[in-house]
Amino acid sequence: MNRVYNFSAGPSQLPEEVLAQARDEMLNYNESGQSVMEMSHRSRFYEPIIEETEALVRELLGVSDDYYVLFLQGGATLQFSCIPLNLKRRGKAAYVDTGVWANKAWKEGGKFLQADCVASSADEKYRRIPEIPEIQGDYDYLHITMNNTIMGTKYSAIPCCGEVPLVADISSCILSEPLDVSRFALLYAGAQKNLAPAGVTLVVVKKDLCCGVGNAPLYLDYKIHAESGSMYNTPPCYTIYMMNLVLKWIRSNGGAAAMEKRNKEKADLLYNYLDSGDFFWAPVEKGSRSLMNVPFLIRNVEGDLEKELNKKFVSEAESHGLINLAGHRLAGGMRASIYNAMPLAGVEALIRFMEDFAKENRHKTRA
């Protein structure tokens, strides 16, 4: 069968070249006579994989020797707990509430220290990134979510927070565009958006923050993982191998700068269509729009008719090879996630379908 265009917010579409290489190496990696799935993480075949993956992360993200690069389990969600447990010094942290995952991080942080919400766009249904006041006081860190997968917003600039360490969840925007890592004390990303299948979480953390303050359970202690090279216990070996292949694909296609150009072309095409039409519209304010996740709604409908048309759209799109376009239950409507691996042709196919759908269903709306 033909491959579909997968607009899922995660796990997301992977580059076909990467899948083909993984297929070819499935039974016999590097003439080892075994799959990476079967390898001991201590073996002479596997250790070069994780070492090279770290080197690729450092190269593509621009990570200096002042930081540890860790490959952990538990998804980005586990980092909501790890971060306050490892970075707690004075017992007070600042959070910006820009969506579902940012809100969860804030609430989880509050279990371990005083977690102050210093800015929020919740009262506007998270349709923009709020203004962040000057961060003052004895905060252990400021936490932000760079790209909000569900609501489709992103920071257009890195917040300034003085001497307060800046922490960011970059799960759904990592390597979609260049990022100045030196501005951050800690970055973390679940892999299943732009890096690999689900199963590994990348953490980039300043070494001087991994001093073993004694507040974290053993497995949640960054120092333990740093000292063991992310091999305190068996790491998610195959997912790290897949990350290795994806990172090589990104490098061979020009790195983060080239990904940004590619992603802007896709996003501009879709947003321009949404802004110029009379059937669909994008609810996110222009200055806060994500390059990766594009929510959209149908104009002039509500209630049962809105639900009916949304369901019809998703179902008919799937029959055209455009899958996973349903919006999150908290946001409604539809959502197209157009991560690095989504080709321009996928967005073009989506817009053609949207044009046809609008023609066939416009009479049902109040337009």
User: Are 289 and 360 in a shared domain?
Assistant: yes
pLDDT of residue 136: 80
pLDDT band with cut points at 50, 70 and 90 for residue 213: low
Structure tokens at 170: 């970059």
User: Are 205 and 288 in a shared domain?
Assistant: no
User: Are 67 and 206 in a shared domain?
Assistant: yes
Q: What is the mean pLDDT of residues 47-53?
A: 97
pTM, full prediction: 0.96
User: Are 260 and 245 in a shared domain?
Assistant: no
Q: What is the dihedral of CA 68, 72, 76, 79, to 10 degrees?
A: -70
Task: Quick: pLDDT tens for 150-192.
Answer: 999 999 999 988 899 999 999 999 999 999 999 999 999 999 9
How far apart CA 211 and CA 209 sit, in angstroms, is 6
Q: Is 326 exposed, middle or buried (0-12, 13-18, 19+ CB in 10 A)?
A: buried
User: Are 222 and 275 in a shared domain?
Assistant: no
Res 140 pLDDT > 80: yes
The verdict on residue 228 lying in a domain is: yes
The catalytic residue among 88, 106, 154, 169 is 169
The verdict on residue 59 lying in a domain is: yes
The distance from CA 311 to its chain's CA centroid, rounded to whole angstroms, is: 26
Task: Quick: pLDDT tens for 219-232.
Answer: 999 999 999 999 99
The verdict on residue 125 lying in a domain is: yes
- Sign of the CA dihedral running 278, 280, 284, 287: negative
User: Are 211 and 276 in a shared domain?
Assistant: no
pLDDT of residue 13: 95
- Lowest mean per-residue pLDDT among 149-153, 219-223, 299-303, 337-341: 299-303
pLDDT of residue 364: 83
Closest by CA position to 332, among listed 307, 312, 315, 358: 307
How far apart CA 21 and CA 169 sit, in angstroms, is 29
The verdict on residue 111 lying in a domain is: yes
User: Are 156 and 23 in a shared domain?
Assistant: yes
Q: Which residue, 222, 252, 282, sits at the end of a domain?
A: 252
Query: Are 70 and 202 a contacting pair, CB within 8 Å?
Result: yes
Active site residue 169: yes
The verdict on residue 3 lying in a domain is: no
pLDDT of residue 311: 96
CATH of the domain at 280: 3.90.1150.10
Res 1 pLDDT > 80: no
Structure tokens at 145: 């979510």
The verdict on residue 121 lying in a domain is: yes
Res 119 pLDDT > 70: yes
User: Are 163 and 227 in a shared domain?
Assistant: yes
Q: Which residue, 193, 220, 252, sits at the end of a domain?
A: 252
pLDDT of residue 302: 84
User: Are 70 and 211 in a shared domain?
Assistant: yes
Res 88 pLDDT > 90: yes
Res 367 pLDDT > 80: no
pLDDT band with cut points at 50, 70 and 90 for residue 365: confident
Active site residue 193: yes
Q: What share of the chain is helix, strand, coil (3-state, %, to 5)?
A: 40, 15, 45
The number of domains in the chain is 2
The catalytic residue among 88, 101, 106, 221 is 101
Share of the chain above pLDDT 90, in %: 90
- Lowest mean per-residue pLDDT among 93-107, 124-138, 195-209, 287-301: 124-138
Question: Of residues 170 and 367, which shows the higher confidence score?
Answer: 170
Average of per-residue pLDDT values in the chain: 95
The verdict on residue 23 lying in a domain is: yes
Q: What is the mean pLDDT of residues 37-64?
A: 96
User: Are 31 and 90 in a shared domain?
Assistant: yes
Res 212 pLDDT > 70: no
Q: Which residue, 252, 285, 304, sits at the end of a domain?
A: 252
Res 301 pLDDT > 90: no
The catalytic residue among 88, 154, 193, 248 is 193
The verdict on residue 5 lying in a domain is: no
pLDDT band with cut points at 50, 70 and 90 for residue 9: very high
Residue recorded with tokens 């919740």: 122
Structure tokens at 222: 């960054």
Q: What is the mean pLDDT of residues 290-304?
A: 93
Closest by CA position to 176, among listed 3, 350, 12, 4: 12
User: Are 154 and 210 in a shared domain?
Assistant: yes
Tell me the residue range of the domain where 159 lies. Answer: 16-252
CATH of the domain at 115: 3.40.640.10
Structure tokens at 72: 């952990």
User: Are 267 and 245 in a shared domain?
Assistant: no
